[in-house]
Amino acid sequence: MNPLERYAPLVDDEAAFLEACERSLPSVVRVNTIKTTVERAREALDDEGVAYEPTDWHPGILKLENSSPGTNWPYFHGWLHGQEEVSALPAIALDPQPGERIWDTCAAPGSKTTQIAAMMDDEGVLIGNDNNLGRLSALRHNAERLGVTNLVVSNQDARNFSMKPFGERTPDKSGSFEQFDRVLVDAPCSCEGTCRKNPDVLDEWTMNHVASVAGIQKGILRRAVQVTKPGGTVVYSTCTFAPEENEAVLDFVLEREDCEIVAWDVPDGFETAPGITEWEDDEYDSSVTNARRVYPHQNDTGGFFTAKLEVNA
């Protein structure tokens, strides 16, 4: 059975959902505002004769009509970065501000990390962590190409992330810190929502993998809440449709950590659906409806899930 068929009860149009999942993804770039402006980037593409269409909901996200992201000089100069359209949502929900201390728990290869850096105006401290040492080279490369200077790269298991290195930066502890203002948990997952660019994920899908990765997700999200200051923000996101990896993870953490799921403003023009409170034999906290689900047929994107949590003061 196609694992996507198990989500038929969740979507408003099963046929449109399944059909969209079989189409290839549009080629999309994000304008890197550390190095340029949206207007200059568009002018550069116009001068190069690269056809593009701005998205309805974000002026800095452009759909390229007939070319791949890495084949034009604005890309080589770090003005543009290839990033799937829907994956821009977590940073928007996080709403990072210049000068803050932010942790990206699973940062490589760096699309969301560099988006966060740009939203911070490259000011403050951004910790880009990944437990896969091999993937960190991609994170470093993307950060350098895009001109990010406020990034500190770390290689830890996010479930047991230690704040000790940041509390002892200097002998007098100037510039040290023990909590973050905001944390992004873009968690490893079963990746069903990426089937438009990687159809193999459906052939490799198993319930055992879903159960296994859900345990990892719970550990990372709990640690994220624990190291975020009271009143701070944690964003949890995945590229899967599975409630076991989405609402169930949120429900688990709500019962064990002092936090709540809050509503967040999805940009106008981008269609989403609320989180669900029931799945098969399980029921979830009613606040999971503040999370947002994205299905491929809604905006011609990949699938995604994003929730915003606030740590209680």
Sign of the alpha-carbon dihedral angle for 122, 71, 202, 19? positive
Neighbour count for residue 252 (Cβ, 10 Å): 18
Strands 180-186 and 278-279: unpaired
> Six-digit token pair at 142?
């993307």
Q: What is the DSSP string of 142-198?
A: HHHHTT--SEEEE---GGG---HHHH-SSTT-TT--SSEEEEEEE-----GGGTTT-
* One domain for residues 221 and 112: yes
Closest C-alpha to 103, from 184, 186, 169: 184
Query: Which residue matches tokens 């459906």?
Result: 202
Query: For 14-66, what is each residue's pLDDT tens digit?
Result: 999 999 999 999 999 999 999 999 999 999 999 999 999 999 999 999 999 98
Q: Are residues 132 and 278 in the same domain?
A: yes
Sign, CA dihedral 158-117-311-239, equals negative
Are 169 and 256 found together in one domain?
A: yes
**What is the pLDDT at residue 276?**
98
The last residue of one of the domains, among 83, 105, 132, is 83
152 and 221 in a single domain? The answer is yes
According to the annotation, is 15 in a ligand binding site?
A: no
* 121 has binding-site annotation: no
pLDDT at 168: 58
- 122 three-state secondary structure: coil
Q: Which residue among 51, 83, 115 closes a domain?
A: 83
Question: 191 an active-site residue?
Answer: no
Are 138 and 132 in contact, with CB atoms under 8 Å apart?
A: no
- 199 and 66, same structural domain? no
130 is in an annotated binding site: yes
CA angle at 292 for the pair 63 and 179, rounded to the nearest 5°:
100
State the CATH number of the domain containing residue 202.
3.40.50.150
Q: Which domain, by its residues, includes 240?
A: 3-25+85-311
Q: What tens-digit pLDDT sequence spans the chain (313 residues)?
A: 799 999 999 999 999 999 999 999 999 999 999 999 999 999 999 999 999 999 999 999 999 998 788 888 999 999 999 999 999 999 999 999 999 999 999 999 999 999 999 999 999 999 999 999 999 999 999 999 999 999 999 999 999 999 988 875 544 455 568 899 999 999 999 999 999 999 999 999 999 999 999 999 999 999 999 999 999 999 999 999 999 999 999 999 999 999 999 999 999 999 999 999 999 999 999 999 999 999 999 999 999 999 999 999 8
| Shared-domain flag, residues 21 and 150 | yes
- 214 belongs to an annotated ligand binding site: no
Tally the domains of the chain. Answer: 2
197 is in an annotated binding site: no
Does residue 109 sit in the same domain as residue 214? yes
109 known ligand binder? yes
On whether both 212 and 299 belong to a single domain, the answer is yes
Asked whether residue 51 falls in the same domain as residue 111, the answer is no
**Which pair of structure tokens corresponds to residue 216?**
């990892």
Count of Cβ atoms closer than 10 Å to residue 55 Cβ = 20
57: exposed, middle or buried (Cβ count in 10 Å: 0-12, 13-18, 19+): middle
Instruction: Name the nearest CA neighbour of 69 among 49, 83, 89.
Output: 83
Q: Check whether 157 is labelled as a binding-site residue.
A: yes
Do 39 and 167 share a structural domain? Answer: no
The structure tokens listed for 132 are 């896969």
> What is the reported pTM?
0.96
Distance CA 192, CA 189 (A): 8
Asked if residue 110 belongs to a known ligand binding site, the reply is: yes
Residues 132 and 234 in one domain: yes
Which pair of structure tokens corresponds to residue 106?
Answer: 């699973």
What pLDDT sits at residue 312? 95
Q: Which two tokens stand for residue 66?
A: 């007939």
User: Does residue 273 have a known ligand-binding role?
Assistant: no
Catalytic pick from 189, 191, 239, 259? 239
Report which of 17, 12, 37, 13 is spatially closest to residue 3, judged by C-alpha positions: 17
Residues 6-34, buried b or exposed e (16+ Cβ, 10 A)?
bbeeebeeeeebbebbeeebebbbbbbbb
CATH number, domain with residue 48: 3.30.70.1170
- Do 44 and 183 share a domain, yes or no? no
